[in-house]
């Protein structure tokens, strides 16, 4: 009797409908992967090894196969939302167990750890206090809670053009009165910082003393950096240009000088800075108006953490309120030779198994690892239209299997009714 075939068909089709229903239910689950029912036929063992007359006894569910194809990437407004564009899984840990996920919906918990909705911590490489990544054994990613320490200014650079058409100053060059614009030709200012991160207002004055020759004076918080001991300001350097007006002949190297202690505009005592250098190699003297094209210094004030940004190579950049940024760590990804061998745990997570093999570890955008996209999430790779069509097909197959049982029942009824 063929009841067995029909019954196995009903069971297999019921499993297929369950898998299709699960796919449809997770069509809006970020990082979810579609599953597919794979069937195999069943034959009874025969002493003679079978033959042309051998008839199968039904069907069985051979495997529920996960499809790890790339899902669509959709952008979000959250910088901690991450999508892997390519191969690889995020590693998250709860206790001593490491599991793997493609769902990049991460947040920061009260302790500064980057976690998902299941409170599992994202794994990666930490950075030291200077922002250098420390590769090796991955640990839970934790954002810094303390601010960034100040850095005193040690180098300054001015890139500019001094107008070759102007004449020497009045009164005669070699003396200067910072409050009298007639004693200098041009000036520019920038803010530098002492060891406490306190601001010092630096102003540079440029005085044409002769053809192709300019004196450079400097003040810090309104006081001359150099003087002759009698209150008369002295230049920190003299720029000599070639007759063509190009790069200076002198100074040939950055000029070094000290910035004395003083009082800033807020009334705070500023610390002295020793050995500060000024690079004027980018200065020119052409027949064009005075203009500064680059003005830089390497110091900064203290700052507090104001936000983070995650680059495509997984480096987590911490941004501070003083405009500085430095790496806080780097996310590590894992890949497998046989992702379909991973064991589903629920919660958008998988665990390694013997079939999947050991994880292959690396950072995003290196080797066969995909790149990260911050402010984006990977949608489920489930084709809702195809699943609905598959559901209709499975429904018809279920009805057909039920019909074979009904037909067999009618045949059996005919046999019973024989007189």
Question: Contact, 145 vs 124, CB < 8 A?
Answer: no
Distance CA 52, CA 110 (A): 70
Parallel/antiparallel/unpaired status of strands 82-85 and 376-378:
unpaired
Q: How far apart are CA 281 and CA 172, in angstroms?
A: 26
For residue 68, give the nearest of 335, 331, 360 by alpha carbon: 335
CB atoms < 10 A from the CB of 339, how many? 19
Q: What value, to the nearest 5°, has the Cα angle with vertex 236 and ends 167 and 197? A: 125
Segments making up each domain of the chain, as ranges: 3-69+382-416, 76-144+309-378, 155-297
- For the chain, 419 residues long, give each residue's pLDDT as a single digit of tens: 578 888 888 888 899 999 999 999 999 999 999 999 988 888 876 655 555 567 778 888 888 888 999 999 999 989 899 999 999 999 999 888 899 999 999 999 999 899 999 999 999 999 987 888 988 889 999 988 888 899 999 999 999 999 999 988 766 667 898 998 889 999 999 999 999 999 999 999 999 999 999 999 999 999 999 988 888 899 999 999 999 989 999 999 999 999 999 999 889 999 999 999 999 999 999 999 999 999 999 999 999 988 889 999 999 999 999 989 999 999 999 999 999 999 999 888 999 999 999 999 999 999 889 999 999 999 999 999 999 999 999 999 888 888 888 888 788 888 888 76
Residue 259 φ then ψ, to 5°: -105, 115
Q: Rg of the chain over CA atoms, in angstroms?
A: 37
Report CA torsion sign: 5, 6, 11, 13: positive
Q: Does domain 155-297 have CATH number 1.10.10.60?
A: no
């Amino acid at each position: 009797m063929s009841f067995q075939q029909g019954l196995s068909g009903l069971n297999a089709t019921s499993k297929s409908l369950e898998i299709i229903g699960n796919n449809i239910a997770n069509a809006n689950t970020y990082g979810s992967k579609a599953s597919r029912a794979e069937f195999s036929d069943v034959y009874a063992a025969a002493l003679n090894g079978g033959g042309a007359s051998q008839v199968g006894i039904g069907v069985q569910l051979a495997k529920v196969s996960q499809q790890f194809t790339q899902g669509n990437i959709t952008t979000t407004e959250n910088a901690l939302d991450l999508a892997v564009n390519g191969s690889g899984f995020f590693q998250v840990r709860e206790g001593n167990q490491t599991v793997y996920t493609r769902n990049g919906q991460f947040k920061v918990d009260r302790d500064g750890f980057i976690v998902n909705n299941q409170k599992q911590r994202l794994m990666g490489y930490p950075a030291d206090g200077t922002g250098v990544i420390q590769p090796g054994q991955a640990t839970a990613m934790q954002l810094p809670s303390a601010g960034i320490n100040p850095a005193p200014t040690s180098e300054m650079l001015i890139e500019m053009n001094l107008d070759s058409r102007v004449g020497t100053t009045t009164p005669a060059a070699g003396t200067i009165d910072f409050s009298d614009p007639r004693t200098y030709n041009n000036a520019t200012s920038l803010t530098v910082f002492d060891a406490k991160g306190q601001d010092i207002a630096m102003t540079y004055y440029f005085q044409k003393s002769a053809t192709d020759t300019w004196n450079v004076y400097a003040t810090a918080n309104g006081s001359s950096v150099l003087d002759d001991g009698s209150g008369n300001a002295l230049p920190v350097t003299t720029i000599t240009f070639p007759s063509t007006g190009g790069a200076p002949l002198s100074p040939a190297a950055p000029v070094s000088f000290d910035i004395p202690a003083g009082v800033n505009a807020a009334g705070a005592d500023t610390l002295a800075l020793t050995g500060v250098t000024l690079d004027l190699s980018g200065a020119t003297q052409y027949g064009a108006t005075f203009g500064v094209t680059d003005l830089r210094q390497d110091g900064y004030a203290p700052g507090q953490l104001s936000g983070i940004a995650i680059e495509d190579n997984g480096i987590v950049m911490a941004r501070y309120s003083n405009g500085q940024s430095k790496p806080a760590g780097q996310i590590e990804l894992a890949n497998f030779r046989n992702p379909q061998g991973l064991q589903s745990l629920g919660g958008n997570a998988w665990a390694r198994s013997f079939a999947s093999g050991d994880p292959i570890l690396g950072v995003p955008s290196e080797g066969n690892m995909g790149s990260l996209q911050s402010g984006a999430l990977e949608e489920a790779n489930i084709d809702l239209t195809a699943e609905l069509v598959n559901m209709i097909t499975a429904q018809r197959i279920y009805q057909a299997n039920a019909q074979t049982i009904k037909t067999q029942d009618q045949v059996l009824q005919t046999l019973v009714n024989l007189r």
